Chains A and B, each alone.
Chain A
Amino acid sequence: MRTAHTFKSAFKSLRANKTRSALTILGIVIGITAIIIVVSVSEGAKGLILSQIKGLGANIIFIEPGREPEGPSDFTQILSDSLKDRELKALNKRNIPDLKDLAPAVMVPAILSRGGETKNTNVLGTSPLYAEMLSIFPEQGVFLSDDDVLSGSNSVVIGYNVKEELFGPSDALGENIKIKNKNFRVIGVFPKKGQVAFFDVDNVAIIPYTTALNYISGSRHYNLIMAEISTDEAVPRAAKDIEITLRNLHSITDPEKDDFHITTQEDIVDRVGTITGVLQTLLGSVAAISLIVGGIGIMNIMLVSVTERTREIGLRKALGARPADILYQFLLEAVMLTIIGGVIGIILGALFSFTVSIVLSKTLNLDWSFVFSTKAAALGIAVSGGIGLIFGIFPARRASKKSPIEALRYE
Chain B
Amino acid sequence: MPPLIETRNICKEYRDGQTVTPVLDNISLQIRKGEFVAIMGPSGSGKSTLLHILGFLDAYSSGDYLFEGKETSSYTEEESAKVRNRKIGFVFQAFNLLARASVLDNVKLPLLYSEIDEKEWDERARKSLESVGLSHRINHEPNELSGGEKQRAAIARALVANPEVIFADEPTGNLDSKSGQMVMETLEQVHQKEGRTIILITHETETAEHAERIINIRDGKIEKDEKIATRRLAKTFIK
Q: Roughly how many angstroms separate A318 CA and B91 CA in the complex, as a whole number?
A: 10
**Smallest CB separation, A326 vs chain B (Å):** 10
Closest 9 CB pairs of A and B: A320-B85, A320-B113, A319-B110, A322-B81, A315-B96, A404-B57, A320-B84, A405-B57, A321-B113
> In the complex the two chains form, is B57's CB within 8 Å of A319's CB?
no
Q: Roughly how many angstroms separate A324 CA and B58 CA in the complex, as a whole number?
A: 18
Number of interface residues of B (CB under 8 A): 25
Q: Which of B85, B96, B110 contacts A408 (CB 8 A)?
A: B96
Asked whether B82 is an interface residue with its Cβ less than 8 Å from the other chain, the reply is yes
Interface residues of B in 46-88 (CB under 8 A from A): 52, 55, 57-58, 77-78, 81-82, 84-86
Q: Roughly how many angstroms separate A314 CA and B110 CA in the complex, as a whole number?
A: 13
Q: Roughly how many angstroms separate A320 CA and B90 CA in the complex, as a whole number?
A: 10
> In the complex the two chains form, is A320's CB within 8 Å of B110's CB?
yes
Asked whether A325 is an interface residue with its Cβ less than 8 Å from the other chain, the reply is yes
What are 21 contact pairs spanning A and B, CB under 8 A?
A9-B101, A12-B100, A13-B100, A314-B96, A315-B96, A315-B98, A315-B109, A318-B55, A318-B90, A319-B84, A319-B85, A319-B109, A320-B81, A320-B114, A322-B77, A325-B112, A403-B58, A404-B57, A404-B58, A405-B52, A408-B57
Asked whether B161 is an interface residue with its Cβ less than 8 Å from the other chain, the reply is yes
**Smallest CB separation, A316 vs chain B (Å):** 7
Is the contact region of chain A dominated by helix, strand, or loop, or is it mixed? helix
> In the complex the two chains form, is B57's CB within 8 Å of A318's CB?
yes
Q: Roughly how many angstroms separate A318 CA and B85 CA in the complex, as a whole number?
A: 8
Asked whether A375 is an interface residue with its Cβ less than 8 Å from the other chain, the reply is no
Asked whether A323 is an interface residue with its Cβ less than 8 Å from the other chain, the reply is yes
B 101-136 to A, binary, CB cutoff 8 A, 1 in contact else 0: 100000001101110001000000000000000000
Q: Roughly how many angstroms separate A384 CA and B126 CA in the complex, as a whole number?
A: 40
Given contacts A317-B81, A323-B78, A324-B78, 6 further A-B contacts (CB under 8 A): A13-B100, A315-B109, A318-B57, A319-B110, A321-B112, A408-B92
Question: What are the residues of chain A within 8 A of B118 when measuring CB–CB?
Answer: 2
Chain B positions near chain A (C-beta within 8 angstroms):
52, 55, 57-58, 77-78, 81-82, 84-86, 90, 92, 96, 98, 100-101, 109-110, 112-114, 118, 157, 161
Asked whether A150 is an interface residue with its Cβ less than 8 Å from the other chain, the reply is no
Question: What are the residues of chain A within 8 A of B92 when measuring CB–CB?
Answer: 315, 408
Question: What are the residues of chain B within 8 A of A315 when measuring CB–CB?
Answer: 92, 96, 98, 109
Asked whether A81 is an interface residue with its Cβ less than 8 Å from the other chain, the reply is no
Interface residues of A in 46-65 (CB under 8 A from B): none
Asked whether A79 is an interface residue with its Cβ less than 8 Å from the other chain, the reply is no
Q: Roughly how many angstroms separate A323 CA and B78 CA in the complex, as a whole number?
A: 7
Q: Roughly how many angstroms separate A46 CA and B122 CA in the complex, as a whole number?
A: 58
**Smallest CB separation, A19 vs chain B (Å):** 16
Of residues B57, B100, B157, which shows the largest number of chain A Cβ atoms within 10 Å of its Cβ?
A: B57
